[in-house]
A and B are shown apart, each in its own frame.
Chain A
């Protein structure tokens, strides 16, 4: 275990000043069962980090540590430090509500609220008091939708329900909703697995654009997607981090045999 983590810290690891989130020795338990075993990794700001690995390897669980969504699961327990901007987010003094406004999340299945498109976007701004006036709010909604590449498609029907959009549009709506709160980090848990290839391509484009302003972490089952959108890739297996490095390195010349096997499709 130890030597593996050491080999997984190649010279290509992001330097400290770029690190947005530094995870140190994370263990996650669901009741008695341990799901994550001593994972440490730095996550770079203004870039996309992809988590890959077979189903049940703990990548989604690890992702949810970063905005403390594991708190909402009964019996889940997280140990270790996750340093974001110099402070441990697992510290009891940290308010998960505020943390989640800094670390947005997009889920596997598009989950627009049963409200209008406008209210879906405005929701976060409203609960966090980000807008002081109606025009402020409209501004936030418009900017978020523009950034999510959805504005042109929905600007004439902002009052219609968000659930009436197509799957791909719904997912972009959810991304816009996350952006509207002005987060620093956006976590994406298999954001394209419920979408068709065209919608997927649009989301991938969007992820690439968002990289300029945000720190993005994406869990994906698609190796091609990881290769296309990410700058760094982490390979998980059975709750352990097997290898992490620059995406190009990982896909052309992985240092671990299991990574090689998984990437080339020999297992998993």
Chain B
């Protein structure tokens, strides 16, 4: 029994028991109200019977769910320490790392649907003991949850009467669920920031760390050898590529948005808009090899042609097989749909009355767009561009494949250079130890990158709020 209980997927236990508790309570709540006698002919109950049912379901299921959550958070540690304390001394006297690995293997083995004996008696016994411990803890948890559910059930049942404002409590419960969902997104972001900060601090405290100043303002980057951690070349590389990308995406995206929202017939719009948005659905790795295979060679031969012109020096452009220009061009194409679709939204949000006003004065359509529609939509367009910039800065795959690995400071778009994201990938792929300055520097880079894009997004939001015209 305990063995079986220890093997079931915990999710099924949770869903099944919560569902049963919830349904039972719901029906009890509903029928008990439906049957309750009215004290007078004119008396109406405050809430519909269904609301009493929902209230009962909430009363029973919420405490039970809380017990489940507590169990999920706490049980792992308890079971682990209990298991370790039962292991023979010679196993426990292993180093902390080896012991951890051993227990990890036990957990893995025990978690299998149908664990086969390994032949190692100690291991098999420990594995089966682990399953047993799990079963026990789950049984305890189920009993506790049932108790809590029952307590909630009784509490709810005692509250029910015709005047009871069950509807209000259900509304509060719905608000609670919605709040929880909103909070999860925020908590996750917080968690990511905290772990980034934590690792970043570890980096600055580690051996070979350049210190904050050296990190932010150093001009040499040789993280692979663990020597130089100056991020200036990475930043300049990132900015150059983002700039090139925006040179492509801003005009094309904006102009196509203007065409779609102001000029295109509804039929044409219905065709073009989804196709444009299809661009956003192409995996960036596909863009990446397009950049590496098609655009980069073209950029190179173009650069060579310019070098070969009679009035240019032969070394004017470096014409590398990988180049910032190739990555920037393709990235620009990739973010066109961001710019166009966001700009399209804000241009469409400009009230028709403004356009009519301009047209009725004898403005031509293009004068209307230039002088009236675009100024009205400008804050939104700026926000769209800033969001696109932060997208370009954070983009990884295209630059990994087409921009190169060499950290250098250059303004020549046909030379290869590297970006923050490329370096993070390079530092974290392959065989890495997670406590060397080399690896930790990736987290510091990530933190800086996150801060930069966060700042861009905040500015974008501020711009939108600050200049939003009230058109009502």
The finding on whether chains A and B are genuine partners in a shared complex, rather than unrelated, reads yes
The residues in A between 111 and 131 inclusive whose CB is less than 8 angstroms from any CB of B are 111-115, 123-124, 127-128
A156 at the A/B interface (Cβ < 8 Å)? Answer: no
B360 at the A/B interface (Cβ < 8 Å)? Answer: yes
Establish whether residues A107 and B356, one from each chain, have CB atoms under 8 Å apart when the complex forms: yes
Residue from B357, B360, B361, B364 with most neighbouring chain A CB atoms (10 Å): B360
Which of A72, A115, A128 contacts B359, CB < 8 Å?
A72
Establish whether residues B357 and A113, one from each chain, have CB atoms under 8 Å apart when the complex forms: yes
B193 at the A/B interface (Cβ < 8 Å)? Answer: no
* Residues 161-177 of chain A, each 1 if its beta carbon lies under 8 Å from chain B, else 0: 00100000000001001
Take A97-B362, A97-B363, A104-B361 as given contacts and tell me if A115 and B469 are in contact as well, using a CB distance cutoff of 8 Å. Answer: no
A69 at the A/B interface (Cβ < 8 Å)? Answer: yes
Stretch at the interface among B101-109, B129-137, B369-377: B369-377
Take A97-B364, A98-B362, A128-B362 as given contacts and tell me if A174 and B357 are in contact as well, using a CB distance cutoff of 8 Å. Answer: yes
Residue of B nearest to A67 (CB): B360
The residues in A between 77 and 134 inclusive whose CB is less than 8 angstroms from any CB of B are 97-101, 104-105, 107-109, 111-115, 123-124, 127-128
> What residues of B have a CB within 8 angstroms of the CB of A74 in the complex?
265-266
Establish whether residues A109 and B353, one from each chain, have CB atoms under 8 Å apart when the complex forms: yes
> What residues of A have a CB within 8 angstroms of the CB of B361 in the complex?
100-101, 104-105, 123-124, 127, 177-178, 181
> What residues of A have a CB within 8 angstroms of the CB of B469 in the complex?
114, 163
> What is the CA–CA distance of A108 and B371 in the complex, to the nearest angstrom?
22
Which of A72, A112, A114 contacts B356, CB < 8 Å?
A72
> What residues of B have a CB within 8 angstroms of the CB of A124 in the complex?
361-363
Q: Could you tell me the dominant secondary structure of chain B's interface residues?
A: helix
> What residues of A have a CB within 8 angstroms of the CB of B351 in the complex?
111
> What is the CA–CA distance of A100 and B371 in the complex, to the nearest angstrom?
17
* Residues 137-174 of chain B, each 1 if its beta carbon lies under 8 Å from chain A, else 0: 00000000000000000000000000000000000000
Establish whether residues A115 and B354, one from each chain, have CB atoms under 8 Å apart when the complex forms: no
The residues in B between 381 and 428 inclusive whose CB is less than 8 angstroms from any CB of A are none
Establish whether residues A105 and B362, one from each chain, have CB atoms under 8 Å apart when the complex forms: no
Take A113-B371, A127-B367 as given contacts and tell me if A100 and B362 are in contact as well, using a CB distance cutoff of 8 Å. Answer: yes
Which of B354, B364, B367, B470 contacts A111, CB < 8 Å?
B354
> What residues of B have a CB within 8 angstroms of the CB of A177 in the complex?
357, 361
The residues in A between 39 and 89 inclusive whose CB is less than 8 angstroms from any CB of B are 67, 69, 72, 74
The residues in A between 148 and 199 inclusive whose CB is less than 8 angstroms from any CB of B are 163, 174, 177-178, 181, 187
Take A97-B362, A127-B362 as given contacts and tell me if A69 and B356 are in contact as well, using a CB distance cutoff of 8 Å. Answer: yes
Establish whether residues A114 and B376, one from each chain, have CB atoms under 8 Å apart when the complex forms: yes
> What residues of A have a CB within 8 angstroms of the CB of B243 in the complex?
none
B358 at the A/B interface (Cβ < 8 Å)? Answer: yes
The residues in A between 203 and 258 inclusive whose CB is less than 8 angstroms from any CB of B are none
> What residues of B have a CB within 8 angstroms of the CB of A69 in the complex?
356, 359-360
Establish whether residues B362 and A113, one from each chain, have CB atoms under 8 Å apart when the complex forms: no
* Distance to closest chain A CB from B197 (angstroms): 42
> What is the CA–CA distance of A188 and B224 in the complex, to the nearest angstrom?
73
> What is the CA–CA distance of A99 and B361 in the complex, to the nearest angstrom?
9
> What is the CA–CA distance of A112 and B355 in the complex, to the nearest angstrom?
10
> What residues of A have a CB within 8 angstroms of the CB of B265 in the complex?
74
> What is the CA–CA distance of A177 and B265 in the complex, to the nearest angstrom?
30
Establish whether residues A113 and B375, one from each chain, have CB atoms under 8 Å apart when the complex forms: yes
> What is the CA–CA distance of A163 and B362 in the complex, to the nearest angstrom?
21
> What residues of A have a CB within 8 angstroms of the CB of B375 in the complex?
113-115
> What is the CA–CA distance of A72 and B361 in the complex, to the nearest angstrom?
13
> What residues of A have a CB within 8 angstroms of the CB of B363 in the complex?
97, 123-124, 127
* Distance to closest chain B CB from A189 (angstroms): 9
* Distance to closest chain B CB from A162 (angstroms): 11
Establish whether residues A105 and B360, one from each chain, have CB atoms under 8 Å apart when the complex forms: yes
* Distance to closest chain A CB from B361 (angstroms): 4
Which of A98, A111, A127 contacts B357, CB < 8 Å?
A111
> What is the CA–CA distance of A100 and B356 in the complex, to the nearest angstrom?
11
> What is the CA–CA distance of A154 and B355 in the complex, to the nearest angstrom?
24
* Distance to closest chain A CB from B255 (angstroms): 21
> What residues of A have a CB within 8 angstroms of the CB of B353 in the complex?
107-109, 111
Take A74-B265, A127-B367 as given contacts and tell me if A181 and B358 are in contact as well, using a CB distance cutoff of 8 Å. Answer: no
Residue of B nearest to A101 (CB): B362
Establish whether residues A107 and B362, one from each chain, have CB atoms under 8 Å apart when the complex forms: no
> What is the CA–CA distance of A119 and B353 in the complex, to the nearest angstrom?
18
Residue from B265, B353, B355 with most neighbouring chain A CB atoms (10 Å): B353
* Distance to closest chain B CB from A188 (angstroms): 11
Residue of B nearest to A113 (CB): B372
The residues in B between 338 and 364 inclusive whose CB is less than 8 angstroms from any CB of A are 351, 353-364
> What is the CA–CA distance of A109 and B266 in the complex, to the nearest angstrom?
26
> What is the CA–CA distance of A112 and B354 in the complex, to the nearest angstrom?
7
Establish whether residues A107 and B372, one from each chain, have CB atoms under 8 Å apart when the complex forms: no
> What residues of A have a CB within 8 angstroms of the CB of B359 in the complex?
69, 72, 100
Which of A108, A109, A113, A163 contacts B358, CB < 8 Å?
A113
Establish whether residues B372 and A114, one from each chain, have CB atoms under 8 Å apart when the complex forms: yes
> What is the CA–CA distance of A174 and B358 in the complex, to the nearest angstrom?
11
> What residues of B have a CB within 8 angstroms of the CB of A111 in the complex?
351, 353-354, 356-357
- Chain B residues engaging chain A, CB cutoff 8 angstroms: 265-266, 351, 353-364, 367, 371-372, 375-376, 469-470
A-B contact pairs, 20 of them (CB 8 A): A69-B359, A97-B362, A97-B364, A99-B362, A100-B362, A101-B362, A107-B356, A107-B360, A109-B353, A111-B356, A113-B372, A113-B376, A123-B361, A123-B371, A127-B362, A127-B367, A128-B362, A163-B470, A181-B361, A187-B360
Q: Which 6 A-B pairs have the closest CB atoms?
A: A101-B362, A105-B360, A100-B362, A111-B353, A111-B357, A124-B361
Knowing that A104-B360, A174-B357, A181-B361 touch, tell me 14 more A-B residue pairs with CB under 8 angstroms. Answer: A67-B360, A97-B364, A100-B359, A105-B357, A105-B360, A108-B353, A114-B375, A124-B362, A127-B364, A127-B367, A128-B362, A163-B469, A178-B361, A187-B360
